[in-house]
Structure formats: C-alpha cells, structure tokens
C-alpha cells in the first residue's frame, strides 16, 4: 500500500518533471494532465472532445506497454512518446509520456559521451603495463585489468567479483593492501612475493566519499624483479671491482718479484693442482692431458717447483716442433762424427743435460714409432745412449709427458705404442678446458693484464662489461688464447678502461665478427705480391692445422719438412 505522504511525493515529481504526462481511462477520456503537457497541447480541445484519440489521433500509433520509445509529430514538432497501461483498483489507465526530442537528443548524447568515456577509461586501464585493481570500501573487487593477472600471477576470473580476503594466503599474500588502506585511511606500499617467486611492489590509494569514509581503493602492482636483479648485479659489480683492485695489486707484486704462480679458483683446476702437488716428491712418471692451450706446461713446472728436484734443471721439449730425423739426437745427444754435420766434439742430449732434474715432453703424441721404442727403453732402464756411441749412461730424470690427443685411440690405430702409454700413464692429471672453469677467467685476465701493463708501460683496466664478455666467451684456444686477447687489447686499445668493442671478436659497432669475416678483411685492399703470398700461405696453414691437427701430418700433406711447417706457423702466429 502506498501511504498518503508517498502519494504527495509522487504527485510533486509528476508535476515538476519537464516531460509531458497525460492519463486516460478505458473510455479514452482524459483523467489527468500535468503542467508540462498542458504547455504542449491544447487542454480545452482535449477536454471538450471527450476522446483523447479524436483530439490527438497521433496517440493511436503508440503501442502500449512497448518498451521502445516512438516518434510522433504534433503541430509541426517532432516528439518522443512512450505509452504504458496500468491496472489500478480494477480500473485500466493509459499513460502517455511525451518527451521533447531536443532534450532526448541531449540526454542521448550525454549517455553516449559517458559511455565513450567509460570505454576510453577501460582502454587506458587495460593498456597500463602495471597491474591495476579497484575495490570498494569493504574490499570487494570492482575492476581489475589484464596486466594485474600477469604481474600478480592471479587470474582475473579468480579476482573479479570476489572479496580480497578470499585471496589472502599465508605464504605469498599474508594480508591485502586494500584492507591496510581501508583501516589506515592512507596510501600504503608493500613488497610481495608472487606464487612464481617474483618480487612486486603493490601500492594502494584510498578514495573518500563526502563523509570522509573510504569508498574505493585503487591498487597498483608493479613487477620489480628486474630492478632487484639489476641491484644484485650492481652489488656484484662493486664487489668485483673491490676484488679486482685487491687481486690486481697482488699480481703486480708477484710479477715484480718474478714469482711464478698458477691461478686456480675453479674446483676442477684446484683438484688438478692438489694431485700435482701430492705426487711432486715421487719420481714416478706423469701424463698430463688436456686441450691445446690449457696450461699443461704450467702444471709440469708446478710439479718441478714443488718437488725435491726444484734446484735442478727443468727442460721442456716440444716433440712436435723437432723434426723426426733430429728428435733422437736432440734428446739423446751424439758422438763426434756420428753423422754428417755433427759437431766435432759431439753433443750432450737434453735428457743428459737434465740429469737430476725434470724433463717435460710436450706433444708426446707427435713422436714417431722408432723414437717411441727408444723412449720406452729410457723409462725402463734409466739409461741413455748417444747417437753413434756404444756406451750407455745412467741418468736420473723425472719424466712428465703431455698431450692434447687421445692416446688410447692412437693405440687402436697403431700410431702410439701401448707399452709406452702404460709407462707414461702411471699418474694421470687432466687439466680442464677454460670454458669449464669460468671462475679462473677473471683472475687470469687480471694477471695477464698486470704482466702486459708492466711490459708495455701501460695502465689499462678491465671494465665490468668486458669481464662479463670474457666469462661468456667459449675460448676454443683456452688460456693461451685468453693471454693473447689480453695482450692484443693492452697494445691496440686507446681506452684506459677497456671496453667491449676492444675485444678482438667485436667490431667497432659492438657486433661479433666471425672467423670468416676476419679472414675477409684484406679483400679489396691493394696488396704487394709478397703480402698476398703471405696471406695465402697463412690461410693454407690455418686450414691444414684445422684438418690434420699435428705438424707431422701437416708436413706430409703439404710436402714440406716438419721443421719448415713449425717455422712458418710461428711466423704467422698460428
């Protein structure tokens, strides 16, 4: 039931509305017309006619209780008209509401403008890279954009329409910023960890009503994982710089004192050094294995320095660099007149000179079969016999052999004696390649830089970016290649603080240069005949080295003496 006061209120609303309202009964007789309608229509004409359809036939077009607004023309003016039928106390009433089309147009435009504004705001919110979530004053989620799903790692469907308390989790969200803002009535920022372990910063800002109560909370969520990573890298770079300056100073002192040292930060290299130190005071033979350039000779020197023989000679013999026809005379020596061109007084061999000390036989896999037999005899009998002599001499030498080849495979193909392998392989030390001991790259780089700064009177420094690039490089040439790269930058770079573009494998634009591109640098240049021949010779030697691996096989295929191949490779820095 509608009370008397409510009826009065409704009557005031109807009288004051700018819309024209006319009501007729079931006999089509007018029973009510508000002031707005009186201004539009001729009230007397409608009253005297008795039937409103006769006075206003346009109303016949109106379908009652049709929810759509229809258009009619009254006295040359266009109006919007809406009709409905009501049942009141078993009486039927027809209600017609007339609306000025201009007002309707304005209202429609306002609705369209508001709708467009809402759409634009939605587009802006959805276009935000940060996650945005809006709740009411009780923490119910009213709106959430797609970015919030990405940043907070919570699906939109699991948030929208829910209360934030449903999302609280003791592990990754023990409390919601929305409730902290509602309770404190002020903006709040908190760091949270998402389900997938990322760091995000969540900021909640309150929106107040006229009474000062929080009616909405706007929450912004931003992924700061990358910022944390950058912060950690910055801290790491500062620590690296401190360590750099400390170690660099120590390296300078070592170099000034002339002390030799093997730098081993990696576990693999430390294990190799521990084994080398352990066996240093035993006279047993040692086989050092590892790729070319890893520092096998340094391991041999370390063993000698750590042994009781440290005050005796330590002689390094590169078996691959000595021509096979001279290898025996170089190692065992010869008597006078032993062969054409021999010294008149004869000559002691390197093994004899090293008596009491250590002999390092590098590239042992390059030795010819006839020499392997004689070396085996030396290992078994501890005796040597000069070329052209009938007398043997007992020697006391510690043999350390090294190779970058797989001797076991060479035994299978018949190029290395099995009995010699077992004689050499009493203790085996494997030196890991540089790419497997990244921890050694930085200290080695600093050590070499200190060496070359002193040698060339420079004051170059490694920057953080260069350090990272050095650590990321694959180093096919191992420590030897690293040493050459540091020397190259020390000599060539004009920068006191070495930059990434100073690295040999980078162009000035910072892009990597492939081996093929480097070889093409001289294409198009005007070269003299001798320069062109040198370039061709270098290219042929490089290809032969890649294909045949050792100088003996290279010499066979290039139809040259092994000594010539070695000399030419040294000439071109191969």
Cα 11-106-103 angle, rounded to 5 deg: 40
pLDDT of residue 65: 76
- For 24, the 3-state DSSP assignment is strand
pLDDT of residue 257: 60
Please state the separation of Cα 196 from the chain's center in Å: 19
- Give the largest Cα separation in the chain, rounded: 158
pLDDT of residue 514: 40
Instruction: Compute the Cα dihedral for 260, 265, 269, 270 and give only its sign.
Output: positive
What DSSP letter does each residue of 361-391 carry, written as one string? EETGGG--HHHHHHHHHHHHH-EE--BT-S-
**Residue 534 to residues 519, 524, 558: CA-CA distances in angstroms?**
13, 16, 16
Instruction: Compute the Cα dihedral for 349, 351, 355, 357 and give only its sign.
Output: positive
pLDDT of residue 462: 87
- For 5, the 3-state DSSP assignment is helix
pLDDT of residue 556: 79
Please state the separation of Cα 133 from the chain's center in Å: 31
Nearest to 442 by CA among 264, 289, 312, 302: 264
Show the tokens assigned to 324: 């096979």
CB neighbours of residue 130 within 10 Å: 17
What whole-number distance in Å separates Cα of residue 203 and Cα of residue 200? 10
pLDDT of residue 62: 77
Sequence-distant (≥ 6) Cβ neighbours of residue 333 within 8 angstroms: 346, 347, 348, 349, 351, 352, 384, 386, 387
The 3 state secondary structure assigned to 37-92 is: HHHHCCHHHHHHHCCHHHHCHHHHHCCCCCCCCEEEEECCEEEEEEEEEEEECCEE
What whole-number distance in Å separates Cα of residue 515 and Cα of residue 535? 15
- For 328, the 3-state DSSP assignment is helix
337 phi-psi bin (left φ>0, alpha ψ -120 to 50, beta other): left
Show the tokens assigned to 323: 């021509």
**Residue 499 to residues 85, 441, 485, 493: CA-CA distances in angstroms?**
87, 17, 13, 9
φ, ψ dihedrals at 236, nearest 5°: -65, -40
DSSP state at residue 169: B
Exposure b/e, 18-40, CB count within 10 A at least 16 = b:
ebbbbbbeeebebeebbebbeeb
* pLDDT tens-digit profile, the chain (574 residues): 455 666 777 777 777 787 888 888 888 888 888 888 887 776 666 665 677 887 777 777 777 877 666 777 776 667 777 788 888 777 888 888 877 665 555 555 666 676 777 778 778 888 888 899 999 999 999 988 988 888 888 888 888 888 988 878 776 677 788 999 999 999 999 888 888 878 888 999 999 998 999 999 999 998 887 777 777 777 776 676 666 666 666 666 666 666 667 888 899 999 999 999 999 999 999 999 999 999 999 999 999 999 999 999 999 999 988 888 888 888 998 888 666 666 666 888 899 999 999 999 999 999 999 899 999 999 999 999 888 888 889 999 999 999 999 999 999 999 999 999 999 999 999 999 999 999 999 889 988 998 899 899 998 988 888 888 999 898 999 999 999 999 999 999 988 889 888 998 875 444 444 443 334 444 445 556 667 677 778 888 888 887 776 777 788 778 787 778 877 887 787 8
What DSSP letter does each residue of 418-444 carry, written as one string? HHHHHHHTTEEEEPPPGGG-GGGHHHH
Show the tokens assigned to 337: 């007149």
Please state the separation of Cα 372 from the chain's center in Å: 50
* Alpha-carbon torsion, ordered 55, 59, 61, 65, to 10 deg: -150
**Residue 47 to residues 34, 349, 502: CA-CA distances in angstroms?**
14, 143, 102
Show the tokens assigned to 513: 């240069």
CB neighbours of residue 187 within 10 Å: 14
Sort 260 into a burial class: Cβ within 10 Å, 0-12 / 13-18 / 19+.
exposed
């Amino acid at each position: 039931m509608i009370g008397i006061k409510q009826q009065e209120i409704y009557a005031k609303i109807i009288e004051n509305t700018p819309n024209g309202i006319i009501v007729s009964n079931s006999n089509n007789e007018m029973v009510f017309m508000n002031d707005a309608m009186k201004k539009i229509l001729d009230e007397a004409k409608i009253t005297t006619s008795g039937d409103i359809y006769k006075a206003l036939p346009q109303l016949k077009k109106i379908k009652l209780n049709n929810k759509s607004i229809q258009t009619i023309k009254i006295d040359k003016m266009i109006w919007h008209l809406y009709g409905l039928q009501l049942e009141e106390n078993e009486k039927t009433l027809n209600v017609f509401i007339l609306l000025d089309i201009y007002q309707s147009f304005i209202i429609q435009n306002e609705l369209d403008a508001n709708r467009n504004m809402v759409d634009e705001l939605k587009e802006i919110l959805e276009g935000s890279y940060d996650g945005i979530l809006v709740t009411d004053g009780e923490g119910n989620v009213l709106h959430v954009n797609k970015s919030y799903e990405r940043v907070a790692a919570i699906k939109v469907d699991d948030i929208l329409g829910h209360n934030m308390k449903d999302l609280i989790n003791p592990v990754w969200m023990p409390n919601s910023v929305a409730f902290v803002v509602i309770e404190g009535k002020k903006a709040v920022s908190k760091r949270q960890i998402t389900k997938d372990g990322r760091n995000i910063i969540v900021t909640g800002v309150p929106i107040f009503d006229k009474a000062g109560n929080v009616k909405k909370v706007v929450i912004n969520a931003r992924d700061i994982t990358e910022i944390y990573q950058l912060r950690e890298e910055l801290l790491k770079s500062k620590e690296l710089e401190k360590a750099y300056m400390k170690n660099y100073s120590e390296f300078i002192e070592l170099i000034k004192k002339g002390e030799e040292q093997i730098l081993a930060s990696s576990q693999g290299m430390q294990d190799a050094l521990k084994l080398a130190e352990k066996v240093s005071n035993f006279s047993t033979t040692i086989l050092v294995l590892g790729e070319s350039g890893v520092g096998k000779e340094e391991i041999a020197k370390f063993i000698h320095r750590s042994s009781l023989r440290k005050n005796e000679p330590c002689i390094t013999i590169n078996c691959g660099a000595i021509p096979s026809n001279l290898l025996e005379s170089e190692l065992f020596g010869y008597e006078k007149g032993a062969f054409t061109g021999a010294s008149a007084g004869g000559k002691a061999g390197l093994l004899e000179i090293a008596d009491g000390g250590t002999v390092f036989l590098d590239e042992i896999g390059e030795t010819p079969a006839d020499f392997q037999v004689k070396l085996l005899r030396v290992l078994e009998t501890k005796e040597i016999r000069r070329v052209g002599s009938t007398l043997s001499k007992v020697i006391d030498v510690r043999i350390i052999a090294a190779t970058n080849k797989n001797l076991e495979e060479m035994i299978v193909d018949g190029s290395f004696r099995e009995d010699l392998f077992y004689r050499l392989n009493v203790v085996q030390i494997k030196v890991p390649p540089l790419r497997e001991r990244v921890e050694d790259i930085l200290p080695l780089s600093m050590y070499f830089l200190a060496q070359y700064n002193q040698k060339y009177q420079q004051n170059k420094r490694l920057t953080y970016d260069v350090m990272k690039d050095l650590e990321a490089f694959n180093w096919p040439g191992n420590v030897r290649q690293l040493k050459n790269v540091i020397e190259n930058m020390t000599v060539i770079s004009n920068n006191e603080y070495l930059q990434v573009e100073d690295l040999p494998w980078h162009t000035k634009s910072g892009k990597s240069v492939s081996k093929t591109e480097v070889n093409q640098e001289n294409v198009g240049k005007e070269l003299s005949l001798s320069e062109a021949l040198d370039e061709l010779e270098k290219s042929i030697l490089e290809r032969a080295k890649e294909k045949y691996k050792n100088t003996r096989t290279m010499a066979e295929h290039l139809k040259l003496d092994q000594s010539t191949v070695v000399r030419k490779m040294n000439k071109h820095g191969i």
